[in-house]
């Protein structure tokens, strides 16, 4: 089994077992490409991702 397949299978099993979701992450970044990359990685790991374009919006 490929490592990525194993990671996805783990996430599916974890959710089926009713374990609580992981913490939320707030990304404060003004570069859209950076936000997209970070969001994809964190969501893949099971985090709920919130974004803000600057510090004021992040508060």
pTM exceeds 0.95: no
The residues, any chain, with a CB within 8 Å of residue 43's CB and separated by 6 or more, are: 49
Q: What is the mean pLDDT of residues 9-32?
A: 75
The pLDDT, as a whole number, for residue 31 is: 97
Q: In this model, does residue 39 exceed pLDDT 60?
A: yes
pLDDT band at 11, cuts 50/70/90? low
Which among 3, 5, 12, 6 is positioned nearest to 46, based on CA atoms?
12
Task: Give the integer Cα–Cα distance in Å for 32 and 35.
Answer: 5
Instruction: Give the DSSP H or E segment for 49.
Output: strand 48-52
Q: What was the pLDDT predicted at 23?
A: 87
């Amino acid at each position: 089994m490929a490592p990525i397949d194993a990671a996805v299978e783990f996430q599916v099993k974890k959710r089926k077992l009713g374990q609580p979701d992981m913490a939320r992450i707030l990304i404060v970044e003004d570069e859209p490409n950076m936000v997209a990359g970070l969001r994809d990685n964190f969501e893949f790991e099971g985090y709920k991702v919130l974004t803000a374009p600057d510090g004021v919006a992040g508060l």
